[in-house]
Amino acid sequence: MFGARSMSDATPERPNEATDRYSYTAVLITQGRHKFYSLAMPSDVLAQHSFVVTRQEDRVAGFQRYLDPKRAAEIAAYIDSGLGTIPTAIILSAQEDCRLEYNGKNRTVSFEKVGNAFLIIDGQHRVYGFHLAESSLRVPVIIYNGLDTSEEAQLFIDVNTKQKPVPSELLLDIKKLAKTQGASEKVVGYIFDLFDSEPGSALLGKMSAFEKANDKISRVTFNAALKTIAPFIAEASAEKIYSELNSYYAGAISAFLKLDNDINICHPMTFRAVTSTFPEVREKTSYTSGGDLSSRSYSKYFQSILAGKKLTPLKSRQKSSTPIQNLLKEAMKPKSLM
């Protein structure tokens, strides 16, 4: 994967501007036994002199073979919009042919204008996007020097496996702050906030807005659950949806407590399954109660259909909502006369 050290690049190099080397102000950083350079580099220069996997393959062909063109195109469009910012450093390993040098007195890093000067350790899609973009901007770069092939491979593994992705709950809240959510996301987000804050909420104290927590309903779980009934609630206001679901959840919680203390509506798959059956349960509860859709009516209906049933799917954490959905749908079927 990380290998050979020779190749001439098919892409034209940047014109020679009085010297055959690039030079940029840089800072030498030491972390334990590791040393690297931190600097800013024009994105077009970076794209012209970096490669993805092996120097024995044309750089552009390498981008196309190993990376997602759609993602790279989105990055390019983001840059060309004039609104883009790329604050996260691209991590590189300098190759022998580029003859990287650090001038401690001037605090500059310089390297030869050769085709594949750097192996990309992290930031491959961003660099591919730089290649596709029509405009250029200065981007932060980290450069390691003097690594052999095995050290490059280990650094690649460390960087790409030790980093944890941003929690989905945090991403949703950041999107909310950035106002980049779609209309449906905004409505669902507002409904979540109502359940999380209204004094009469059946789920008050059972929600976790910012992270996953045991026995709490996260934004991700809540969003996924409401997606299952999206067509049914599409035309209703957020306040109407909250009011209807609040009575429903209150009735379900009341019934579950009376049926078995081990049933926890906050388990992600339990919550999703209970939410997904809301339209059917609502219709049947309305029929059996003469149109009364109070929490008491929902509780009575749940108790009537689940009494005497094996509630194992509801009592244990499930990896899928299907077993619970099947239990509820089977329980709602009309009883045979025979």
Rounded distance between C-alpha atoms, residue 313 and residue 209, angstroms: 26
Secondary structure (DSSP) of 223-283: HHHHHTTHHHHTTS-HHHHHHHHHHHHHHHHHHHHHH-TT--TTSHHHHHHHHHTHHHHHH
pLDDT confidence of residue 143: 98
pLDDT confidence of residue 269: 93
Per residue of the chain (338 residues), give pLDDT as tens.
Answer: 444 333 333 333 333 455 789 999 999 999 988 899 999 999 999 999 998 865 445 545 544 556 788 888 889 899 988 877 899 999 999 999 999 999 999 999 999 999 889 999 999 889 999 989 999 999 999 999 998 888 888 888 888 777 666 677 766 776 666 655 555 778 898 999 999 999 999 999 999 887 777 889 998 899 999 999 998 998 899 999 999 999 999 999 999 999 998 899 999 999 999 999 999 999 999 999 999 999 999 999 999 999 988 999 898 888 889 999 999 999 998 876 55
176 and 140 belong to one structural domain = no
Is 304 part of a structural domain of the chain?
yes
Selection from 116, 119, 128 nearest residue 68 by Cα: 128
Q: How far is CA 171 from CA 77, 160, 238, 253, 280, in A?
A: 22, 20, 22, 29, 33
DSSP 98: G
85 and 178 belong to one structural domain = no
Rounded distance between C-alpha atoms, residue 39 and residue 89, angstroms: 9
53 and 178 belong to one structural domain = no
Q: Hunting for tokens 């927590």 — which residue is that?
A: 213
pLDDT confidence of residue 9: 37
Rounded distance between C-alpha atoms, residue 56 and residue 65, angstroms: 13
Structure tokens at 232: 């049914």
pLDDT confidence of residue 170: 67
Whole-angstrom Cα Rg for the chain: 29
The parent domain of residue 189 ranges over 168-332
pLDDT confidence of residue 201: 97
Is 9 part of a structural domain of the chain?
no
81 and 186 belong to one structural domain = no
Q: Which helix (H) or strand (E) holds 218?
A: strand 217-218
138 and 219 belong to one structural domain = no
Q: Hunting for tokens 């800013």 — which residue is that?
A: 40
Q: Where does a domain end: 140, 162, 184?
A: 162
125 and 172 belong to one structural domain = no
Is 5 part of a structural domain of the chain?
no
Domains of the chain: total: 2
